[in-house]
Amino acid sequence: MTGVAAEPAAVTVVEGGPPPVHRGRSALGRAGWFVASVLVVCVLWEAYKVVGSPDGGSLFGARVLPRADDASMPHVWEVLRRFGRPESAATDSSSVAVAVLEAVWFTFRVAMAGLVLGVLVGIGLGMLMDRFALAERGLLPYVVLSQTVPLVALAPLVVGWGGRVHIGSMTWRPWMSVAVIAAYLAFFPVAVGVLRGLRSPSAHSVELMRSFSASWWQTFRRLRLPASVPYLIPALRLAAASAVVGAIVAEISTGIRGGIGRLVIEYSREATSDPAKVWTAFLGAALLGLVVAGLVALLDAGLARYRPAS
Amino acid sequence: MTAFVSLSGVTKTFRGRAGDVTALSDVDLTVTAGEFVTLIGPSGCGKSTLLRVVADLTAPTAGTVTVNGKTARQARLDQDYGIAFQQAGLMDWRTVVRNVELPLELRGWDRRRRRERALELLELVGLPDFAGARPAELSGGMQQRVAIARALATGPKLLLMDEPFGALDEMTRERLQAELARIARESGATVVFVTHSIPEAVYLSDRVVVMSPRPGRVAAVVAVALGERTDDTREAPEFFAKVTEVREALRGRAPVERR
SS (H, E, C) A187-237: HHHHHHHHHHHHCCCCHHHHHHHHHCCCCHHHHHHHHHHHHHHHHHHHHHH
CA pair distance A30, A297, nearest whole angstrom: 13
- Residue B254 clears pLDDT 80, i.e. is over it: no
Report the SS3 class of residue B128. helix
CA pair distance B174, B249, nearest whole angstrom: 23
Distance from CA of B206 to the nearest CA of A (A): 25
Interface test with A, best of B106, B139, B160, B192 (most A CBs within 10 A): B106
Confidence at residue B234, expressed as pLDDT on a 0 to 100 scale? 77
Bond from prior residue into B215 cis (ω within 30 degrees of 0): yes
Confidence at residue B42, expressed as pLDDT on a 0 to 100 scale? 84
Looking at per-residue pLDDT, the higher value among B17 and A230 belongs to: A230
Mean pLDDT, residues B164-192 taken together: 85
- The full 3-state SS of A92-142, as one line of letters, equals CCCEHHHHHHHHHHHHHHHHHHHHHHHHHHHHHHHHHHHHCHHHHHHHHHH
Question: Angle at the Cα of B4 (from B2 to B10), degrees rounded to 5?
Answer: 120
Report the SS3 class of residue A248. helix
CB pairs under 8 A between A and B: 51
Residue of B nearest to A308 (CA): B92
Confidence at residue B1, expressed as pLDDT on a 0 to 100 scale? 59
Window 211-250 of A: residues touching B by CB (8 A cutoff) are 211-214, 218, 222-223, 226, 229
Among the partner residues A202, A208, A218, nearest to B83 by beta-carbon distance: A208
A200 in Cβ contact with A307 (< 8 Å): no
Instruction: Identify the sign of the CA torsion B58, B59, B64, B68.
Output: positive
Whether chain A has a CB inside 8 Å of the CB on B167: the answer is no
Mean pLDDT, residues B238-256 taken together: 75
CA pair distance A238, A246, nearest whole angstrom: 12
pLDDT digits (tens, 9 = 90+) for B158-169: 889 998 888 888
Looking at per-residue pLDDT, the higher value among A180 and B236 belongs to: A180
Interface test with A, best of B48, B67, B87, B92 (most A CBs within 10 A): B92
CA pair distance B50, B53, nearest whole angstrom: 5
Whether chain A has a CB inside 8 Å of the CB on B91: the answer is yes
Confidence at residue A190, expressed as pLDDT on a 0 to 100 scale? 92
Confidence at residue A112, expressed as pLDDT on a 0 to 100 scale? 93
Quote the mean pLDDT of chain B.
84
Mean pLDDT, residues B9-23 taken together: 81
Other beta carbons less than 10 A from residue A273's beta carbon: 8
B227 CB burial (10 A radius; 0-12, 13-18, 19+): exposed
Phi-psi region of B26 (alpha: psi -120 to 50; beta: other; left: phi over 0): left
Confidence at residue A20, expressed as pLDDT on a 0 to 100 scale? 46
Quote the mean pLDDT of chain A.
82
Answering whether pTM is above 0.90, one says: no
Among the partner residues A204, A213, A229, nearest to B76 by beta-carbon distance: A213
Whether chain A has a CB inside 8 Å of the CB on B41: the answer is no
| Interchain contact, B85 vs A204, CB within 8 Å | yes
Q: Taking the mean position of all CA atoms in its chain, how far away is CA B93?
A: 26
pLDDT digits (tens, 9 = 90+) for A136-195: 888 888 888 888 888 777 777 887 777 777 777 777 777 888 888 889 889 999 999 999
Confidence at residue A122, expressed as pLDDT on a 0 to 100 scale? 92
CA pair distance B212, B42, nearest whole angstrom: 7
Share of chain B above pLDDT 70, in %: 97
A56 CB burial (10 A radius; 0-12, 13-18, 19+): middle
Stated as kind and residue range, the H or E segment containing A285 is helix A275-302
pLDDT digits (tens, 9 = 90+) for A89-108: 776 778 888 888 988 999 99
- Residue B86 clears pLDDT 60, i.e. is over it: yes
| Interchain contact, A202 vs B91, CB within 8 Å | no
Residues in chain A where the model's pLDDT stays below 70: 1-25, 91, 309-310
Confidence at residue A4, expressed as pLDDT on a 0 to 100 scale? 43
